[in-house]
Amino acid sequence: MEEESLFHQVVGLFPQQKSEGGSSFPVVLTPNPKITETVDLTEAIKANRAWLDSLLHRSGAILFRGFHVSSASDFNDVVEASGYEDFSYGVGGAGTRTKVVGRVYTANEAPPDQNIPFHHEMAHAPVFPSKLFFFCEVEPGKGGETCIALSHVIYERMEQKHPKFIEEMEEKGLIYTRVIGEESDPSSPIGRSWKEVFMTQDKAVAEERAAKLGMKLEWMEGAVRVIIGPKPGFRYDEVKKHKIWFNGVVGGFKDKLNDDPSKGVVFSDGKPLPTDVPDDCSKIFDEECVALQWRKGDVLLLDNLAVLHSRRPLIMLPRRVLASFCK
């Protein structure tokens, strides 16, 4: 069957759903109600990879809703059906995750009542996934929305709001600093221990692996300071011919070892960022994002270069969202 006969595109499902380059953001696909037999998502994806790739390129995000995807194993089959190559979540990732099955991991295991700021997955690393899948295994009781925003729109609005900052950021680049402990901290969104982050008990091996990722380690009593950069604060999309907001300016976390988020991101010369920049950027994110209220069985596909994502605090349990990463 052709894609038009398998999928039905829904507009207006979310109040903030936007139009971008002639496509909705996000594109929402459901089974075609005119088809009497059950539409299998894995088979539909296999049959329409080129069309879905084109749709993802235009929109940046596709939400599959109403298909029979009920377990981590089902979700793994969907990911495999996409044809995208596996990106193993391994050395360098700060968020705590547990491998569930095949190519499937838990989403960030930070306490559910915490906010996870907008970010591109592994933007600090020299190699990062190009596409992300998320799957709602257990629908949230209340809250816990995943929010998405178009990165080039954030860049354009920040350039209008803070042109001098943008100029300085592009000239100097940014340095990221965080302290991670010898033991994991389950209360932190970036609470993996250095032993887990670098997958070794040996400090020398950790330093070697960190260096390959462009990181420098400074050992402390019971912890290590990780310094990343200088890194560009943006990337240029050669295909779409625009700049994207590829940085962690609003990604500062506060936990037991990192008590001042303003020190987490600075210019490459050590100069602090203007105090109003992170706040203004957060406001722009709030204005431009689409908040996805999860439903059981939802599968979300994101272009990690085009779209930033975040997680709002969960107000009422339960919630279980799984993730998979693709090259």
Mean pLDDT taken over the chain: 93
Residue 1's pLDDT band (boundaries 50, 70, 90)? very low
Give the torsion through C-alpha atoms of 307, 313, 315, 319, to 10 deg. Answer: 60
Please work out, in degrees rounded to the nearest 5, the angle formed at the alpha carbon of residue 191 by the alpha carbons of 319 and 200: 120
Please work out, in degrees rounded to the nearest 5, the angle formed at the alpha carbon of residue 206 by the alpha carbons of 205 and 207: 90
End-to-end Cα separation, the chain, in angstroms:
28
Average pLDDT over residues 47-66: 96
Checking if the pLDDT of 130 tops 60, the result is yes
pLDDT (tens digit per residue) in 291-327: 999 999 999 999 999 999 999 999 999 999 999 999 9
Cα 64 to Cα 81: distance, rounded to the nearest angstrom: 14
Count of CB atoms situated within 10 Å of the CB of 291: 14
